[in-house]
A and B are shown apart, each in its own frame.
Chain A
Amino acid sequence: MLAVLKHELSLYYHSLSGYVFGAFLLAFTGIGALIYNINASVANFEYVLSFIQMVFIIIVPILTMRIIADEKRQRTDQLLYSLPIRTSEIVVGKFFALLVVFIIPMIVICLYPLIFSMYGDVYLPTSYGSIFAFVFLGLALISIGMYISSLTESQGMAAGICVVVMLLNYFCVQIANAIPNETIQNIIAKISLFQRFSLFYNGIFDLTAIVYYISIIAFFLFLCVQSLEKRRYNG
């Protein structure tokens, strides 16, 4: 697993995708901080996160599109299958590599509330609570992106499907509101990953949401393993 993790990281930082992902995330955070914290003089960093969560619609596909699709296209998946490592180790190794690529810009983002607190009164628990939840939201979306990448050989196709899924996820609550049925609206609000994040930037640390995100991650990694195993059975 460690071998896969190291290998994936080296691939991400050999190509541009690791840097593009980090740059996008940091650029949007910078813009958000400029708008909310500096121009509007709001002391809540969590609002910046609520603003930048939509950036996931673009950066998750950038990050995850090649992770498995490219292995299939280059036929390097055959190498992975022939190596003495389990499919689950391959998937978890790849996921941890994505986690590291995601965490690196997040560490930089963690400095923002500290810097702001030097110049004003920032309530750090909600800021860091939101950053914590933001990481889990990102990881849950990344696990979905990774599963989508395992379904196709084409990076472009993986990216396209991933953008659509991210958009649906982002706007599903608004779409559901158009349906005149309260039960459906409630269910969709409960399922929506982005909706659950809204509690955090409104100042509530919702542990059930964290558990939900972890469940989503586990579920899609499991699907990813199954998708790779299926290829082994069907060729």
Chain B
Amino acid sequence: MITVEHLSKRYGDVLAVDDLSFTIEDGHIYGFLGPNGAGKSTTLNIITGCLAATSGDIKIDGHDIYEEEREAKKLIGYLPEIPPLYVDQTPREYLKFVAEAKGVKKADIEAEIDRVIDETHITEMQNRLIKHLSKGYRQRVGISQALIGNPSVIILDEPTVGLDPMQIIEIRDLIAELGKKHTVILSSHILSEIQAICEKVLIIYKGKLVAFDNIENLGKTMSEGNQIEILSGGDPLETIELLERNTAITCFEQKEMIDGYNSFKLTTSNSNPYEICEELFVAFAGKGIPLVKLNPIKTTLEDIFIELTSEEDEDALYGGPEAIEPAEEKAIPEQEAR
């Protein structure tokens, strides 16, 4: 378990991390999201002891990262943004150094190296010089370094940056596999990646935590209810009249016409948007208005991310898991009230 309390980091006049507090529970894959320069790497560097905080406490399983440095660091495996590799060594030599430095018992070192090499699938490359390896394999060597000593927490800072699509999928699978045995914190600004592997998401913006929850919960709390997109073929006034008649639709917004059809985005208070879809279908059919599209929209991580990290939401900064509401109120600024 990682406890971060009131963490701040200042570089001269710039406040890179501003009073960050959160707790990472064991056994989940956490996504650490934020735009470039939001303070992701700084926070991860502080958690792993690579960087000193200006103020605040970090405890890894109860061990303070500064006061009980050795004990705390043994519990963490860290892959920084740029994999820290000695390119003139082979992966095996490199891992031997890391194992010795992490205090793995001499008798167990070879077995431990074999284990991580096997886990990260670099067996064929173990005796080649790191400088001759491809970027994907270098990344794997970096991850294998983090796995040495079997730490309970693995922290990976943008592990898929600069990789080709195939390598990204491979690394992603590898991380999902690691998540079964370790707590994983994965920093990224690739949203689909986070959505695909992570169970919980921390979103950081301008050094502050703006959201920390499951992706589904975030989606639910983001917008007031569910949204539905429709394309109607009839007269717009008739469509509006039908929409206004349905009491479960809290508000709607007319969008630009698509191929001669009127486009509307509806928001409903009903937790099951399909029910509303059924009602609308029947109502429109009854009036003889063609409905060519009826699409309940699922909130994606992208929507959440954009909403939380856009400039106008600066006031809606996060205070704790329950303090997400202020962000919601501002979440649908252009919606028309009924």
Contacts and interface: CB of A to CB of B under 8 A. Distances in A.
Interface of A: 2-4, 6-7, 10-11, 14-15, 74-79, 81-86, 232-235
Nearest to B142: A79
Contact of A74 (B69, B84, B97, B100): B84
Given A15-B88, A86-B69, A81 B50 contact: yes
23 contacts: A2-B100, A3-B97, A3-B100, A3-B101, A6-B97, A7-B97, A10-B89, A10-B97, A11-B88, A74-B86, A77-B84, A78-B78, A78-B80, A79-B84, A79-B98, A82-B49, A83-B101, A84-B69, A84-B73, A84-B102, A232-B50, A235-B45, A235-B51
Contact of A79 (B11, B42, B69, B145): B145
Interface in B128-183: 145
Contacts of A78: 45, 50, 78, 80, 82, 84
A84 B70 contact: yes
B330 interface: no
A234 to B, nearest CB: 7
Nearest to A70: B86
B201 interface: no
B85 A74 contact: yes
A201 B185 CA distance: 61
A233 B16 CA distance: 13
Contacts of A232: 50-52
Interface string B59-95: 0000000000111011010101010111111000100
Interface of B: 11, 42, 45, 48-52, 69-71, 73-74, 76, 78, 80, 82, 84-89, 93, 97-98, 100-103, 145
Can you list the 5 inter-chain pairs with the closest CB atoms, starting with the nearest? A3-B100, A79-B84, A84-B73, A81-B50, A3-B101
Contact of B76 (A6, A79, A82): A82
> Which residue of A14, A15, A82 has the most chain B CB atoms within 10 A of its CB atom?
A82
Contacts of A235: 11, 42, 45, 51
Contacts of B69: 84, 86
A70 to B, nearest CB: 9
B52 A82 contact: no
Nearest to A77: B84
A78 B100 CA distance: 17
A84 B87 CA distance: 22
A84 B48 CA distance: 10
B74 A84 contact: yes
A56 to B, nearest CB: 26
Contact of A14 (B73, B85, B89, B100): B89
A75 B73 contact: no
A214 B145 CA distance: 37
A187 B310 CA distance: 64
A7 B205 CA distance: 39
Nearest to B99: A3
A7 B99 CA distance: 11
Nearest to A232: B52
B86 A11 contact: yes
A76 B98 contact: no
Contacts of B98: 79, 83
A233 B51 CA distance: 6
Given A2-B100, A79-B80, A83-B73, 6 more contacts: A6-B97, A15-B88, A76-B84, A78-B82, A79-B98, A83-B101
Given A4-B101, A86-B69, A81 B42 contact: no
A233 B54 CA distance: 8
Nearest to B88: A14
Contacts of B73: 82-84
Contact of A85 (B80, B84, B101): B101
B50 A82 contact: yes
A75 B52 CA distance: 17
Contact of A81 (B49, B70, B89, B102): B49
A75 B80 contact: yes
A4 B80 CA distance: 20
Contacts of A84: 69-71, 73-74, 101-103
B47 to A, nearest CB: 10
Nearest to B104: A3
Contacts of A83: 73, 98, 101-102
Given A79-B98, A82-B78, A85-B101, A234 B84 contact: no
A76 B85 contact: yes
A10 B84 contact: no
B100 A6 contact: yes
Nearest to B50: A81
Contacts of B101: 3-4, 7, 83-85
Contact of B89 (A11, A79, A233): A11
